[in-house]
Chains A and B, each alone.
Chain A
Amino acid sequence: MSEKFPTPPKLTPAEERIRRRRSMAIALALAVLAVIFYAVSMVKTIR
């Protein structure tokens, strides 16, 4: 299996930073989306 999935090339510190920032942005967006869906559901349930 390891031969078919070769070790990925090492990223430079700048590339690592870009990837980390993007991952954090995706996580934050998903969290915000979850909160919004929750809030909308609550409002629709209460009404």
Chain B
Amino acid sequence: MSAAFDKAIDHTAAVKTVGGDVGDYFQLLKPRVMSLVIFTALVGIVVAPGPIHPVIAAASLLAIAIGAGASGALNMWYDADIDAIMSRTAKRPIPAGRITHQEAFSFGMVLAAGSVIALGIFANWAAAGLLAFTIFFYAVVYSMWLKRLTPQNIVIGGAAGAFPPMIGEAVVTGQLGWASFVLFTIIFLWTPPHFWALAMVKAEDYKRAGVPMMPNVAGELSTRRQIMAYTVALVLFAFVPAPIGMGGVAYVAVATLGGAGMLGIAWRILKARDEAQSAKAGMQMFGFSILYLFAVFSVLLAEHSLGLMWTLPKLP
């Protein structure tokens, strides 16, 4: 063995720390985000025109989920410094000292490469390419570039969370179509009200960490107005699946009820008289928006997969 090799590899270092527990690595994958990705990608697969074998669909979903987990691990690797400052994220494995930066980076890169290659083999290379782009968009464009640069970080970066239905459609057809573009736009418009509501409540946290979230940069009033604007756009756009034959009567009913709820909470945020009211409405928006997205996508899933579709007259 050469001296250079011995210098480069500290043989005792590997056993000085045993690394994180399985649960810590699982936490690096951001399991809650991962579950949303699996669900929206599944809807993308189901609404895509054309058949797919269930085994291929399940294997592809697993690859997409692992890709999403890789993005989460790379995000936690890069953001460990600000995670340590914010109360919401201080207990994550890296700031808590249970996993090192290098372990998280290696874990994320291995999963990213593995998930893209696996999806290429399981489904097709168009879907794999889109998954690779999504991981790149979340880890590099959002985490490394936009997050610390602009209050529009989650607006543009939110696209990363909106890609999974497109990957789902690409898994089935090998290309992109209108169905997944509509789903992409729904998630894209949903992201700002969802995250700005949280940012209003956790404004001090973000301020201490130096993350330029909208409430800290443009002020709370401007953020409230923008939440309302995006909510109106979301609620209106959410009706698009009906006239193009993607959503049926049940979908319209859920989109109407859910949309009314979203608008009601956005109105409460806009008209909040003090900080306590604003924080309460902000948390309501954060929670209800998850329910809204889940309900809207669930009904699409049910209509397409269980044959419950009762469509409205299609546009010519």
- Contact residues of A with B, CB < 8 Å? 1, 4-6, 8-9, 11, 15, 18-19, 21-22, 25, 33, 36-37, 39-40, 43-44, 47
Residues of A within 8 A of B62 (CB): 36
Overall SS of chain A's interface: helix
Closest to B22 in A: A25
Q: Which bucket holds chain B's interface residue count?
A: 20 to 34
Contact with A along B8-47 (1 / 0, CB 8 A): 0001100110111110010000000000000000000000
Bound CA span A33–B119, Å = 12
**21 interchain pairs, CB-CB under 8 A:** A1-B1, A4-B1, A6-B11, A8-B12, A9-B16, A11-B15, A15-B18, A18-B18, A18-B19, A18-B20, A22-B22, A22-B25, A25-B25, A36-B59, A37-B121, A39-B55, A40-B55, A40-B56, A40-B59, A40-B121, A40-B122
B56 cross-chain contacts in A, Cβ below 8 A: 40, 43-44
Question: In the complex, what distance in Å separates the CA atom of A15 from the CA atom of B6?
Answer: 26
The CA-CA distance from A8 to B198 in the complex, in Å, is 47
Task: Tell whether B53 is near chain A: CB-to-CB under 8 Å.
Answer: yes
Task: Name the A residues within 8 Å of B15 (CB-CB).
Answer: 8-9, 11
The 8 lowest CB-CB distance pairs between A and B, nearest first, are A8-B15, A15-B18, A25-B22, A43-B55, A18-B21, A40-B59, A19-B18, A36-B59
CB–CB A9/B12 < 8 A: yes
Measured CA separation A10–B179 after assembly (Å)? 58
Chain B residues positioned under 8 Å from A4 (CB to CB): 1, 6, 11
Known A-B contacts A6-B11, A6-B12, A40-B122; the reply to A47 vs B19 at CB < 8 A is: no
A12 — nearest CB in chain B belongs to which residue? B18
Could you tell me the distance between the alpha carbons of A11 and B71 in the complex, rounded to whole angstroms?
A: 32
